[in-house]
Every structure is written in structure tokens, then in C-alpha cells.
Amino acid sequence: MQESLAVTKRGADELLIESDFIQKLIRSEKTGVPLRVKLGLDPTAPDLHLGHTVVLNKLRQMQDLGHTVIFLIGDFTSMIGDPSGRNITRPPLTREQISENAATYFAQASLVLDGDKTEIRYNSEWSDPLGARGMIELSAKYTVARILEREDFTRRFKAGTPISVHELLYPLMQGYDSVALRSDLELGGTDQKFNLLVGRELQKDYRQEQQCILTMPLLEGLDGIEKMSKSKGNTIGITEPANTMFAKVMSISDVMMWRYYELLSFRSLAEIAGFKKAVEEGRNPRDVKVALAQEIVTRFHSRQAGEDALADFVNRSKGGIPDEVPEVTLAGAPLGIGQLLKQANLCPSSSDALRMVEQGGVRIDGAVIIDKALKVDAGSFVVQVGKRKFARVHLS
């Protein structure tokens, strides 16, 4: 039991209520009946990133301990939109958008989870049949005052920012998922704590044994400040090419590296502590970061991909061109350097492109470009922006 508890708590922010969870573990070990461990994700975007895998890794650890893991796709709650941590109403998704995003969710999650041992559920199974009467009966179990205890709702209410009635239903619907699934333990990010507690309270109202709650920290993105989010452009996608994934991990700061080790690595705590000690004694932190990058690339691609990505990264560090460079065909020669970079998708706009030229971050066939007025003649050449963006441009 102690080992199971230690695995459960590793890297976690909070376990509520720990004494209740210990009793659940003891009963499970005595009876041989696994705990029901639930994670719900709303398919608001089609791709998962490393931030999502923090909680998926924990789910896999619970799976390896022999417990029943439920991967819940929130196809119903996505139509409401989770208001957690938001200052404005989230636009609800259509059924079509949800279906498209959900189609890829579990396939990507299976890169972490054991798909054969995972119970996949959709909360529309029980939410759609509730109907208007069931929704009113469910709403009667919670007060507006308690819902407004949520920090984001309180902040918006005081600021006079609109709160739509459907947003108030979101915590109730997520909580009802725990009732429908008879969850023993629900996982989520720290920003989900309120919603997870609602599930615990609703189970009590429905005369069920209350679930315990395990919250996991939110992983900072590549900027080291904001949480990893596609909307902030600071993500490492789990289906990105191996070389891109490797280079992105290598771009994080030496300080942030330890945070990534804690939340993403499957290495033992003793081994990570050994890495820290070695760096303190003079080992180059780059070597330790390479080990992390290879571990992550290997997990989502293969061991060979990890080795190839390292070789590609070393080659780029020496000013070399990566093995795989996207081909781009453009017309309009002679073409201004700003337009060329924009049309080749190397910069989001021509003004950004010219700013990169100013900073010395643009190369053509290895030569640094410093002339913002440059007109590029017809031909084929490799264009580089920054350290990681390359394109083989064919201009006519």
C-alpha cells in the first residue's frame, strides 16, 4: 500500500482526502477489486501536447498499479465550454467540431496509456438522456452561492463581466460524470480543483462513496512563464516530428529543465537527484537536457528517432542543415526578402520577417542576410530563420 501511495503522490500537487484514499487502497488490495480512476478531457482542440501528458502519465502509473482507468471524452461538456481560469465566456463548440477533435484524442493518448486496458467513455452517454427535467433536478443539488465561490466566477462577477447561465452548469455536469462512472479517484490539473470537488459532493447527494481527488501541476510552456497552451504558442505537441520535439525540449532553460524532469520523466527520483548533483558538481546541464529530450522523443516516436534527433540537433548547432527540410515553391522573382519569408511560412508576416533580418536571424544557403531591401532572384536555395526554421525554396 505504501508503494502505491508513493507512486500516486509523485509529482502531484494535492491528494484529497489522503486518509480516504489510503482506506480505498487497503480495501482494493484486500479484495482484489481495482479502483476506478477517472480523467476527463474536453476535445477543444485536435492535438495533445506535453502539458496534457502530465496527468496522462499519472493515469498510466495508476494503470500499471492494476487499477481501472477511465479515459472520459467530454463530448457533451465541450458544448458548454469549461470556464475554469477564464475571464470571458468560452465559445461553445459545435457537435461537428467536437467529433473531429475527439477522433484523434484517444489515438494520441494511447501513446502514453495502455489502450487495451483503458475504458473509453463519452459523457454524452448519460448527459444527453438527462433532458430538461433531469437537468433541473441536478441543478437543485447545488446553490448559486457555492458556484460563485469559484475564483474566476467571483472575479468576473465583481468586475461586471458577463457570466452566461450555461457556464454555471459546467461544474455540475463534470461532477455528474463522477456519479455516472462511480469514480474512486479523479485526476485533473490544479485549475480543475473546484470542479473535482463538485463531483465529490454530488456523489454524496447520490448516496455514493465519495471520490478522492488528485491534482497535478500545470506545466509551463517553452517560455517558462505561461502554462503550456496552443493559444499561447508555447507547446511541444506529442505528434510533432521527432527533430522538432527534440529541439524544442533543448530550448527550455536550464532551470525549467528540472520542472520538466519532475513532471514528464519516467526516471526514478533518485536518478533525477543524481543528475542535479552532477550539474552542481560541474557537469554541463546540456548533457542532462539531452537525456531528457531523448527520453521524450523515444516515448512518442522510437529509440532510433531519439538518436537521429540528437544527431540532427548537433548538426544544426554546428551550423549544418537538417536532413529533412520542407520544400516550398514560390513565384514572382525577384521577390522581396520579407515577402519570401512570409510566403514560405517561415515568418507570420513580412514585418516580422524584416525584424528577423534586422536581428541577423535570417540565412540563405548559410549566408547571413542583413539587407531588408534585398530582392531574391530566381533559383533554389535553403532559407533559415532562427535556429529551427528551414525551407528549401524553389523561386521562379
Average of pLDDT values for 295-318?
A: 87
Pairing of strands 362-364, 367-368: antiparallel
Residue 69: φ, ψ to 5°: -105, 130
User: What's the pTM?
Assistant: 0.72
DSSP structure string for 137-179: HHHTTS-HHHHTTSHHHHHHHHHT----HHHHHHHHHHHHHHH
**In the predicted model, is pLDDT for residue 196 greater than 80?**
yes
Three-class SS state of 37: strand
The confidence score (pLDDT) of residue 168 equals 82
* 36-52 core/surface letters (b: 16 or more CB in 10 A; e: else): bbbbbbbbbbeebbbbb
Euclidean distance between CA atoms 186 and 188, whole angstroms: 7
| Residue 263, pLDDT score | 92
Per residue in 78-100, pLDDT (tens digit) is 777 655 545 445 566 777 777 77
What does the pLDDT look like over 18-35, one tens digit per residue?
Answer: 999 999 999 999 999 999
Q: In the predicted model, is pLDDT for residue 220 greater than 80? A: yes
Query: How many angstroms separate the CA atoms of 313 and 321, rounded?
Result: 10
Round the average pLDDT of the chain to a whole number and report it.
87
Helix (H) or strand (E) holding 381: strand 379-385
Q: In terms of Cα–Cα distance, which of 67, 82, 77, 80 is closest to 121?
A: 77
pLDDT reported for residue 87: 47
**pLDDT-based confidence at 259, cuts 50/70/90?**
very high
Confidence class for position 110, pLDDT limits 50, 70, 90? confident
Q: Which is higher by pLDDT, 100 or 59?
A: 59
Domains plus CATH for the chain? Answer: 2-216 (3.40.50.620), 240-317 (1.10.240.10), 327-395 (3.10.290.10)
Give the pLDDT confidence of 320-375 residue by residue, as tens digits: 677 678 889 999 999 999 999 999 999 989 888 898 888 878 888 777 787 888 88
